[in-house]
Amino acid sequence: MRGDIVDGTFETGAQLVELVLAEKYGTSRTPVREALRRLEQDGLVERGDRGTRVRTRSPEEILEIYEVRIPLEATAAATAAQRHSDFDMIRIRRAQAAMDNTPTDDPPAMAANNRAVHETIWAASHNGTIVDLLTRLNNHLTRYPATTLKAPGRWHEALAEHHELIDSIDQRDATRAHDLARDHMTKARDLRLQIYRDEPAE
């Protein structure tokens, strides 16, 4: 269920009905109820008079998330530059190759492969706290799974930024990796907020 929320299968604002979910996942309502409780604690769903829904984020909340995520991403990249193994670099470059070859008419795949690159960089930091926190923060940004990458020119720009960042990690240039990751995520934040504000009200 968490994965279906994160990848956009359940859209923002979608109502989550226990009976329907139990049938979808082939289980009883009790584990579904417990899963919804945990998702509520993680801020992915919200309960109200009309039941449980996938949580909607305000621009202010998105900004708060990025205020924490940007420095953490920069720290992860810098730490990965210092601690990565040869195998880590193989995993990172393999993930980036998959992203490079992603069809641009497949937004879910674009989002998934972009996330995979970031996750391999986090893992290369060999810091479990960084990985846990960034995973949680990234899960909060589910309203637009791939929209920042669909902004005009952003996909190819993001690919170039990734390659530059990965090279700096490979070269163990922690300062450059930190700055490149910070700038990369700052652009993502600005695009996400702009897309949110430009979205027509329902």
CA-wise closest residue to 196 among 60, 34, 102: 60
Confidence at residue 144, expressed as pLDDT on a 0 to 100 scale: 54
Helix (H, G, I), strand (E, B) or coil at 15: strand
C-alpha angle 192-109-159 in degrees, rounded to nearest 5: 65
CATH 3.40.50.2300 fits domain 59-198:
no
Task: Indicate yes or no: pTM above 0.85.
Answer: no
- Flag whether pLDDT at 24 surpasses 50: yes
For the segment 101-118, what is each residue's pLDDT rounded down to a tens digit? 999 998 888 988 999 999
End-to-end CA distance of the chain: 26
Task: Judge whether 134 and 76 are in contact, CB under 8 Å.
Answer: yes
Domain ranges of the chain: 2-54, 59-198
Average pLDDT over residues 147-175: 95
Q: Could you tell me the two tokens for 142?
A: 């589910």
Calculate the CA 61 to chain-centre distance: 15
pLDDT, mean over the chain:
90
The per-residue pLDDT for 202 is 44
Give the CATH number of domain 2-54: 1.10.10.10
Q: What is the pLDDT of residue 201?
A: 45
